[in-house]
Chain A
Amino acid sequence: SAQRPRPRVLLKAPTLAEMEEMNTSEEEESP
């Protein structure tokens, strides 16, 4: 029987706001 494609893995995404926070903290960390 035709091989059924494997279900794709759902990648969890941070929200825009969380990305903003991550970005800000990265900028603060980097000298």
Chain B
Amino acid sequence: RQVTVQRKMRILTASTVPHRSNSCHLLLSLPLDLKPQMLSGAVPCLPAYILYMCIRHADYTNDDLKVHSLLTSTINGIKKVLKKHNDDFEMTSFWLSNTCRLLHCLKQYSGDEGFMTQNTAKQNEHCLKNFDLTEYRQVLSDLSIQIYQQLIKIAEGMLQPMIVSAMLENESIQGLSGVKPTGYRKRSSSMADGDNSYCLEAIIRQMNAFHTVMCDQGLDPEIVLQVFKQLFYMINAVTLNNLLLRKDVCSWSTGMQLRYNISQLEEWLRGRNLHQSGAVQTMEPLIQAAQLLQLKKKTQEDAEAICSLSTSLSTQQIVKILNLYTPLNEFEERVTVAFIRTIQAQLQERNDPQQLLLDAKHMFPVVFPFNPSSLTMDSIHIPACLNLEFLKEV
């Protein structure tokens, strides 16, 4: 497959070292404008392994300047590519996978006992000999956080336009439309250009695409879980904020719709073995708001039920939803002021946060748990399509 390698980041000039049968050093220049698809058949995180072997070669030759230049040019090269592709989910995910894998390699082969517990004897032969790269590991960790934040920003930007119409407006349960409250209107923006509204399936398709890309590229499972926890939090926040601001969606049928949509999303998480991510827990406020829309709202017992169930909603949010609640038809009574007073009285000892809306931009702190690889360096094959004619096994 003829590939054009737009840009080569020359890392090392070719130099020879005594052949060592049990050590595998590769000299290379790594094209950082690599297209992730070019490596679709290769071992995931191949660039990271190649980079590590290059660093190991410089360490082996006790050449600190070469280690510095290698790591500095790698980090700057990755930052350059990410700046250039700052709206490309696949490329960002690709370099997050490789940056994290390089970080894990620098730990796994650091020579620190704590990181070698799962190493084979063969892998232990590939440890660094001369240099302690602890400080560079910290830089790579900081870079990984920056790349992760870019990945989330891109994913949120792709999901954001879908959320309100898919979660609140689209009738995923057919036949519910007959029970829309009086005055119900589709949001202008989702109607602006005709069919610019999304169904829940569109969100699930997008989640599938994100998950497939990240898994194919070998992104650590722990990080994949954090990505979806963050994305589900955003779906929760954007949907709940709309509910708190729009009378026309505060109804029994929307409550029904929401509970169905949330159950579909939960099912998707389970199907992809992502339910232990904590994503469902981040949707608790929305789950409780959906329940609140469906609970009876008349008696003292109803008030007690609402207060005991709405533990993830603030008093302000509960009262706001009750005030906005729109009966389906003339047979259903409106929520009385007296009932809302009862709720407020029952909740008065809560010291709730004062703000009504959720912060949709809230980012959970990301962690990169150490994840050693079972691969041994000399088992790594470099596909010819990479044009890395500088590769030398020494």
Contact = CB atoms under 8 A, between A and B. Distances in A.
Main secondary structure of the interface of B (DSSP, over half): helix
Contacts of A22: 72
B309 interface: no
Main secondary structure of the interface of A (DSSP, over half): loop
B129 interface: yes
Interface residues of B, number: 23
Contacts of A8: 111, 128-132
B138 A10 contact: no
A20 B138 CA distance: 16
B136 A11 contact: yes
A15 interface: yes
A13 B70 CA distance: 12
Contact of B142 (A6, A7, A10, A15): A15
Contacts of A31: none
Interface in A1-31: 5-16, 19-20, 22-23
A23 B67 CA distance: 17
Interface string B336-357: 0000000000000000000000
Nearest to B111: A8
A26 B350 CA distance: 57
B307 interface: no
Contact of B139 (A6, A15, A23): A15
B146 A19 contact: no
Nearest to A17: B142
Nearest to A11: B131
A13 B136 contact: yes
B139 A13 contact: yes
Most chain B C-beta atoms within 10 Å of own C-beta, residue among A12, A15, A16:
A16
A22 B132 CA distance: 23
Interface in B21-73: 64, 67-68, 71-72
Contacts of A6: 130
A11 B64 contact: yes
Contacts of B68: 11
Interface string B126-165: 0011111111101100110010000000000000000000
A11 B139 contact: no
B146 A16 contact: yes
A12 to B, nearest CB: 6
Contacts of B131: 8-11
A6 B142 CA distance: 29
Contacts of A5: 111, 129
Given A8-B111, A8-B129, A9-B64, A16 B134 contact: no
Contact of A9 (B71, B130, B142, B143): B130
B79 interface: yes
A17 to B, nearest CB: 9
A10 B134 contact: yes
B189 to A, nearest CB: 38
B135 A11 contact: yes
A22 B79 CA distance: 13
Nearest to B142: A16
Interface in B106-142: 111, 128-136, 138-139, 142
Interface of B: 64, 67-68, 71-72, 75-76, 79, 111, 128-136, 138-139, 142-143, 146
Across the A-B interface, give the 7 residue pairs with the lowest CB-CB distance, nearest first: A13-B135, A8-B132, A10-B132, A13-B136, A16-B142, A13-B139, A23-B76
Given A8-B132, A16-B139, A19-B72, 11 more contacts: A5-B129, A6-B130, A7-B132, A10-B132, A10-B135, A11-B67, A11-B132, A11-B135, A14-B72, A16-B143, A23-B79
